[in-house]
Amino acid sequence: MKVPNRIGRYYVENELGNGSFGTVYKAFDPRTKRVVAIKVLRESLHEFRDRDEIEEDHTRFKTEWEAVGKLRHPNIVIVHDVGEYEGGPFMVMEYVPGEDLKRVFKKGKRLPIRKSLRIMDQLLAALEHSHKNDVVHRDIKPSNIILSSNENLTNEHITVIDFGIARLPESTLTKDGRAPGTPAYMSPEQLNSRRDLDGRTDIFSAGVIFYELLTGAHPFGPVADDGYVHRVLNDVPTPPSKKAGAVPSAFDSVSLKALARDRKDRYATAGEFAQALRTLAPAHDCADFEGEESDDHEIPSPQRAWPQSVDVYICIGIIFLIIGYCMAYWMI
């Protein structure tokens, strides 16, 4: 698809991403002099879709800007404007530089524990704010978490994006009764297409991400496996410390509580989950995974070749030499 020169008043620079639902462009707003991201839902994407599916796409788009419009949080993407372009709606959002957590995972190198805890703390803060404003995201996954940081990931900041299937108080499931979401991060109640989803479904999804941050593996095994859904609905994941030896066992109970099959057994709120992690953080703030270099460790001072008491004797000897020299001079 050709990149347009302009969308409304916005000058398009390049394409950031393209999917079945729409296209996202990087653009410049001449009025506010800022770089923005524009998500466009074009009618051309509906060429092979029926009327109900097209209507559902428009509803999803409307849900996203309504959901994000209710939220004001440093870890949630900002929506600046909405409009229409070539028969389809578009949404102008804050441009967030960085890479999504999915790409970080694909690099195959796990982050140090302290960095993982910082990411989780911000993610859970965003969810706590969202849930308090009656917005359940329902699609928390690595590709919807943008990580902005320097090259060494020492000042990481996360932004939660894509509220397209968020549950507002008045919203429901898809028209065919299926719960929307990404299977690899869906809670058991989402997989069972329950209609009364609440914030605990996002807590489960965050729990999956936390497990992946700790171990580099999915808690329920390969998603493409025919038995995946059965495992989510019936199995208890292997504790993180047994999955990856460098993970302290203290994290096991916190991780498994977030992944409980029955939502009544999970953390009641994202804030409660975050507090459990903060309780563990001081003891593991400088802990690193094997193979990771810590930038928090103090460099030890070189060891002295002799005890400090020897220095004292040398100084006394020098003083006596000076005194003896002076006495000899005056006697001459």
Per-residue pLDDT of the chain (332 residues; tens, 9 = 90+): 688 999 999 999 999 987 656 789 999 999 999 999 998 876 545 555 566 666 776 777 777 777 778 889 999 999 898 888 887 788 899 999 999 999 999 988 888 899 999 999 999 999 999 999 989 998 999 999 999 865 554 578 999 998 766 665 555 444 445 556 789 999 999 999 888 899 999 999 999 999 999 999 999 998 888 899 999 999 999 999 999 988 999 999 999 999 999 999 999 999 999 999 999 877 655 444 443 433 333 323 333 333 444 455 555 666 666 666 656 555 65
Angle value at C-alpha 42, between 90 and 86, nearest 5 degrees: 80
Per-residue pLDDT of 117-163, as tens digits, reads 999 999 999 999 999 998 999 899 999 999 986 555 457 899 999 87
> What are the b/e assignments for 137-155, b being 16+ CB within 10 Å?
bbbbbbbbbbbebeeeeee
Of 103, 150, 96, the residue nearest 126 (C-alpha): 96
In three-state secondary structure terms, 303 is coil
CB atoms near residue 284 (< 10 Å): 18
Domains of the chain: 6-94 (3.30.200.20), 99-284 (1.10.510.10)
CA-based nearest residue to 198, from 252, 266, 152? 266
- C-alpha distances in angstroms, 325 versus 313, 315, 331, 332? 18, 16, 10, 11
Return the pLDDT at 287. Answer: 47
Active site residue 139: yes
Amino acid 291: pLDDT: 36
> Of the listed 139, 202, 252, 288, which one is catalytic?
139
Question: What's the confidence (pLDDT) of residue 146?
Answer: 94
Burial class (CB in 10 A: 0-12, 13-18, 19+), 20: exposed
Phi and psi dihedrals of 39, rounded to 5? Answer: -100, 125
Q: Pick from 186, 163, 74, 169: which is nearest to 123 by CA?
A: 74
Instruction: Specify the DSSP element, H or E, that contains 24.
Output: strand 23-29
Question: Is residue 163 within 8 Å of 63, Cβ to Cβ?
Answer: yes
